[in-house]
Amino acid sequence: MNFNKLDLNLLVVFDAIFNEGSTTKAAERINLSQSAVSNALNRLRYSLKDDLFFRSEDKMKPTPKALELVGPIKKALDLIQSSISPETFDPKNSQRTFIFSFPDVAAGSVLPRLVKKLENEAPNIKLITLAPEPGHFEKLKNYDVDFIIGSNHFLETEYQSPIGLSFDEHFDSHLIYSDHYICMGRKGNPFFKKGKIELQNYLDANHIYISIDGKGTSHIDKHLFTLGYKRNKMMSVNYFQVAKEIIKETDCLIALTSYIANQLNSSNEFEIVPLPFKSEKQEVKLIWNKRLGNDPAHYWMRECLFDLRKDIFPLMNKKFPVHLDQ
């Protein structure tokens, strides 16, 4: 048989007859006349050189050849159906597991609100959160992680990886917010004077910086280098909460965005001052594998996160100092 000359619609008729055991019921199932179904069956018999079905009492029963074909035909039809027809997603009954990779501060902002939403709308969905680490773009590509939330500066080493350099080929992203950098230290920090910090004091202080791998150069240090300056980097950590505890007990400083500063300073333990130089804004994005773009469950979760953004980031309107000459 020449497969290229086979009418694939005949396979739909075959499947209907096999499931219904009757050309009449098969016709009703696929919205054809009985004569059209009988004609299609005759054409398929001719093409495959087998009777395929025979009448026994009041039912059409499959031949050994039909029993041999039914599995592959059903798989082929299911594959075609899933490819051209959108799946439905029922959050109430879904048992999907989603894996997130994002910094501790983002987790603290997003997860309480997301879990509350899931309790009401999708109680059987499971969440797994991972701390950002090198190689998470690779995990995202391989479907081992569903979402990454991070800034262009925080994920800089990932963007410079082989996969990151071909970002648009593998991933899609959505801007969560953009924000400016400030300087934060404990109240009474000797480097702060009257709500600001002079450039030389900033350069002389010990600095904590956030890095997922402890390698590379931070955005602030690269920017200072272009200005001809260098600060004292004392330590890199990969958790904002750890940095918070360090600066609370020492004279160390940290440069971070105003949103994160607000989260860490919820108890008003720290002083926030402008940087003594201009710096670029930081963009925080939600990133996912673009091959999951049309997955109904994945789409639903993205929409949940987009909606939560409106509740999580209204404080972006809160005024924080930016830099001294702005």
Least confident of 101-110, 218-227, 314-323: 314-323
- Residue where a domain stops, chosen among 51, 84, 117: 84
Segment 240-265 mean pLDDT: 91
Structure pTM? 0.62
Do 275 and 297 belong together in one domain?
no
How do 97-101 and 282-289 pair as beta strands? unpaired
Residues 153, 301, single domain; the answer is yes
Nearest to 181 by CA among 281, 96, 84, 272: 281
State which residues form the domain around 164. 97-177+284-317
- Which pLDDT belongs to residue 300? 92
The top-scoring range by mean pLDDT among 104-113, 150-159, 260-269 is 260-269
Report whether 141 contacts 167 (CB < 8 A). Answer: no
pLDDT digits (tens, 9 = 90+) for 267-279: 899 999 999 998 8
The band of 315, judged by pLDDT with boundaries at 50, 70 and 90, is: very low
* Ranges assigned E (strand) in the chain: 53-56, 59-62, 97-101, 126-130, 147-151, 171-179, 181-186, 206-210, 232-237, 253-257, 270-273, 282-289
Q: Rounded to an integer, what distance in angstroms lies between the CA atom of residue 132 and that of residue 154?
A: 9
282-306 mean pLDDT: 88
Q: Is residue 89 part of a domain?
A: no
Q: Give the integer Cα–Cα distance in Å for 138 and 22.
A: 52
H helix and E strand count, the chain: 14, 12
Task: Decide if 104 contacts 131 (C-beta within 8 A).
Answer: yes
What is the DSSP secondary structure assignment for residue 304, as one 8-state letter? H
CATH number at residue 153: 3.40.190.10
CA distances from residue 78 to 17, 41, 84, 133, 209 in whole angstroms, order as listed: 16, 20, 10, 39, 52
CATH value at residue 39: 1.10.10.10
pLDDT higher than 70, residue 180: yes
Place of tokens 């219904």: 20
Number of Cβ within a 10 Å radius of residue 239:
14
- The secondary element (H helix, E strand) that includes residue 137 is helix 136-141
Domain co-membership, 114 together with 62: no
pLDDT tens digits for 42-51?
A: 999 988 899 9
Average pLDDT, the chain: 84
Confidence class of residue 198 from pLDDT cuts 50, 70 and 90? very high
Contact 150, 102 (CB under 8 A): yes
Q: Give yes or no for residue 245 having a pLDDT over 90.
A: yes
Stretch 99-119: mean pLDDT: 87
Give the whole-angstrom CA distance, residue 96 versus residue 302.
14
